[in-house]
Structure 1
């Protein structure tokens, strides 16, 4: 019996030892120099744009990846092991200073302490490696240098370790060694057409809604030409002379299918083909980003539900390798457009990688020689995007890794100030602000000073995270000085608002919405100033109206921040609901209720120039999540957060808000609030005309009919109350 017990014990111990060995095996990934893959891939993505067979690349400077890279790792093995090696590019390998002959694919490494180095050259794609052993694996602990002869660590600090500049490796979720990073592409799935009208040698296809992908001809026979005319509207697809996108291909086959190479945005496709061509059917390969939709929203208003659903679809269509502006045009990575996508993303997907990939792609390489996308405000949005990313995710490592690039970008911006310490458009700068007729961009525009001020505050915060205390103090002081100048130079007591600009040192009389609404949710105004701006600017029809969803985003956010949810709900129904009434299946780049007929599709002097699927049109996702469900982080990464629901004029609403480590689920009616939280410590704050009751938590009266209770991870409770 004793021997049997011993055998069982020994067998159990051996199994446990085997489990521990397996458990200690590390997960490998393809690795490369930080930011290089984003730069390389964004170049590839942004140069896919064509219009009617014409190649249309971006009009700003495109950087390149470093073509020669040195990968290095110090490690120790308790026992010998064989590590498999995969490389993108030409390479050599050195272990403990001894260079191995040829191109080894298996590394035989004895027990003990070792140093491994790989030099990889690749002009066409990013130099990358994949190492898979039991203990030695390629991950972000590896160090890299492009041989610029100065050592730094992952936070950007200099070190005296060697005479070479090193940074920690970067990676995406590429864990298959046989799939090279340069071959990465988004997945596709086949979709059938909603309807096909077949005539003699032509097909008119409707896929039922706005979509994106590759047209697939089924059962193709013959020898001749096939012409495709794409349209986001039936008008566009039928206009063979002026539609924005078209393709032509010569077919020579006796059956089978044909898939077009170029991805396109469309709902409708007008296919015309030669007499000796036959096409049995048409489908498409829908291309998409495999992000998971975690956020949700439903309410008592069916039109609002439809708006939220279409907004979610719009954002998903424009969430690709990066956040792009629109799927028809431009299909580029614009910083201002992406900034709004980040915010919507936090309430729909909470997909951090797409945010960081986009931020790194936009930043590019040093030296900085122009504003991001050549646009002054877009450089500032880049800083704001980093600030929000940290607040929502709490990811200090990203801040530390990218802080050196933030400093050089801010050095460029500060170097373009005038004698008063303000920014204005210089040679090569595009001061964008918004698409609006008659909007002045001359002089020192107050809106640009507001964005610079918040960017400087971001730099002060990130400098502290990067332990650069001297710079934190410097940026904080510049921001404080600039804020004082903004109110000294631009605030008009007579107009109860910030004026639009200064020209030759003198403030103009013009009042616009831009600087005023940003100053509200940046919390730059005192309570009286906020009320003045609301009355004399935001609710004043004499101030030029905003017609783009881009700036409606901020206008409605500023009103929500002041408790005007009932008013904003009507605006959402009028504006986004107006697009739905015109048949929109995704939201547009611009919508003007005054436009009628075919003019609703026109922009930039072209009859179909307007994008009918633009990421910035999806802003109701953010507004409904942050200001109606009322969920927002109050410390980085939702360690602490606030739930402050506001029904506006809704009877009830429910939804899910994703966080880094779980979801917050909320139901709110005029008589009941339910909360189920999976992350962090929160405060539920609400107003009630009666004393509320909750069996699962203590309610604290804060005065003025305001009540609070604490929300902790894993708690579920119901509050009975009466909404004011």
Structure 2
């Protein structure tokens, strides 16, 4: 690992103070099986908070608390005994759920390939009652199922309160109100997108506050874009960039993600597209802030990523497609990523060219310009298929949504042909489709870029609007309207239902629609 202590120290000086607010239970609910509901579960109110506080609970009793909205924070519980003096410890089990499925489906049934330790539950033994307890772990939830596993025959327990100290580095007072007259679904979409971003804004931009609770550069890029139009927390973006820049992998590549604890350190995951996105993040940051000091300090790291990206080209000027690399693009098991990677390289080279020009680095700008010409010409010569009207990817010439979307964003074709490419994509609808809000974001960005605002808004309504109809309090890591239990990890129980890359409707609304 290549360490730059000066940059890491700058990042650590930018650790934000978290704002907190106390959130109370709104009602008690029951989770009911319903095939017509999202993932087969819905909630039904059972009692008021006052009724719950007046009840007492013994061995075998349980209830589900509904906080009314998505929360990220620390839980406080006040419990008192009812009946005889407690003569045995109280044994409680708490299950936390962002969505009803996590409350209804036993975690014992989980068989996904990610660690089951991400499933949110707590087993508690309380020796002395009454007690007020603050759980040390931070949880991410709307619902808490409380099960009284045991007391003794002599006493029960009552709950004076269960509170959440919700935390975020996103300051809502910075957000300007939308103008009046917008459709209600747009207003709701903006609100839920902002809540998604806010709950992911902790001491870094986390990808998901339930899982993975890490700083991933692909998520950071989209979070930062949304942040510039909402919370305007520029220092948090700067902190994240310095973390990536200060802890690179041995060959100089910016790592795909970093951890904060027990000390700042980079993960060993290397992604071709994510490393290149360091350039795009720096470009967007400069465009938002005009912070020349940061640009000057981080430019050498950005230029290094472009050089590493270019070194992956074959003799034709096409990104090599073999088993020695990994490129994310989207969660799709059948997707060939060569053409998308080529387009991401071109996209980031163009942003690098602009930054080199701003800095007055004419030699580097010329070098980057030459690479843009080489890679764009190669894409048209070797990946463009005139007969189908699409870019093909890999040895088998796969036609996918991702390849066309990224080639459109990279503006490899002239402007008019670029717009026609997306029109053709929407009509033909290739079999290799989109799996996540991450790629849907790029489709919508491409539609706005090519001037098709009407279709961009329609796609937002069809996708994020459908999440709203399915009960989203925050937007999700994965959403397939045709298979609402789909998961890249083998189980929907471990999906992230507040996920950074899904926060961008507020960016689209505030950049392109008002």
TM-score, normalization by structure 2:
0.80
Shift of 1:330: 1.3
* Distance change in 2, residues 1:543/1:189 (3 Å): same
Indicate which of 384, 389, 397 corresponds to 1:509. Answer: 397
CA-atom RMSD in angstroms: 2.6
**Which among 12, 18, 25 is matched to residue 186 of structure 1?**
18
Distance in 1 separating the partners of 2:62 and 2:74: 18
In structure 2, what is the equivalent of residue 282 of structure 1?
Answer: 162
Query: 1:372 deviation in Å?
Result: 2.5
Determine helix, strand or coil for the equivalent of 1:253.
coil
Partner of 2:300: 404
**Measured at CA, do residues 534 and 454 of structure 1 come closer, stay the same or move farther in structure 2, by a change above 3 Å?**
closer
| 2:369 counterpart (466, 473, 476) | 476
Secondary structure of 1:225's partner? Answer: strand
1:575-614 alignment runs, 5 A limit = 575-595=463-483, 599=485, 602-614=487-499
Q: Which residue is 1:562 aligned to?
A: 450
Contact kept, 8 Å, 1:326 with 1:611, in 2: the verdict is yes
- Partner residue of 1:204? 64
CA gap 1:523/1:324 in 2 versus in 1, 3 angstroms: same
Task: Give 1:67-78 correspondences, 5 Å limit.
Answer: none
Number of aligned residue pairs: give it: 447
Partner of 1:489: 382
TM-superposed deviation, 1:331 = 1.3
1:352 equivalent in alignment to 2:352 = no
How has the CA–CA distance of structure 1 residues 403 and 607 changed in structure 2, closer, same or farther, with 3 Å as cutoff? closer
1:278 and 1:185 map into 2 onto residues whose CA distance is: 37
1:324 aligns with 2:156: no
Residue 518 of structure 1 pairs with residue 350 of structure 2: no
For 1:462 and 1:531, how far apart are their aligned partners in 2?
A: 26
Deviations 1:192-248 (A, max 9, x none): 111236554434211111111111111356634332111112231233434721122
Whether 2:139 is the aligned partner of 1:264: answer yes
Aligned to 1:79: none
Cross-structure match for 2:511: 626
Gaps of 5+ in 2: 30-51, 111-118, 257-269
The corresponding residue for 1:112 is: none
Among residues 296, 301, 304, which one is paired with 2:186 in the alignment? 304
**Larger helix percent:** 2
Contact 2:71 2:164 in 1 (8 A): no
Shift of 1:36: 1.0
Q: Give runs of ≥4 in structure 1 deviating > 6 Å.
A: none
Q: Which structure has greater strand proportion?
A: 1
Contact 2:331 2:488 in 1 (8 A): no
* Residue correspondence of structure 1 range 369-384 to structure 2 within 5 A: 369=251, 370=253, 372-373=255-256, 374-384=270-280
Structure 1 residues 254-278: Cα deviation after superposition (integer angstroms, max 9, x where no partner): 3341000000111111122331573
Task: Give the superposition deviation at 1:439.
Answer: 1.4
Task: Report the CA distance between 1:367 and its aligned residue.
Answer: 5.5
On the 8 A contact 2:276/2:305 being kept in 1, the answer is no
Per-residue Cα deviation, 1:694-723 (whole angstroms, up to 9, x for no partner): xxxxxxxxxxxxxxxxxxxxxxxxxxxxxx
Shift of 1:553: 0.8
For 1:459 and 1:300, the matched residues in 2 are separated by: 37
Give the SS at the match of 2:127.
Answer: strand
Aligned partner of residue 178 in structure 2, secondary structure: strand
Following superposition, the deviation at residue 379 of structure 1 comes to 0.9
* C-alpha contact 1:212 1:265 (8 A) present in aligned 2: yes
C-alpha deviation, 1:495, in angstroms:
1.6
CA contact (8 A) 2:248 2:254 kept: no
Provide the secondary structure at the position in 2 that maps to 1:257. strand
Distance 1:334 1:366, change over 3 A: closer
Structure 1 position 448, deviation (Å) = 0.8
Aligned to 2:318: 422
Compute the TM-score of the two structures, normalised by the length of structure 1: 0.58
Aligned to 1:225: 91
> For the structure 1 residues 424 and 358, does the alpha-carbon distance in structure 2 shift closer, same or farther, using more than 3 Å as the test?
farther
SS of 1:189's equivalent in the other structure is strand
Larger Rg: 1
What is the CA distance between 1:609 and its match in structure 2?
Answer: 2.1
1:480-538 residue CA offsets vs partner (Å, 9 max, x unmatched):
22222111111221122222x243xxxx4322222322333443321442243023213
CA distance in structure 2 between the partners assigned to 1:37 and 1:426 by the alignment = 38
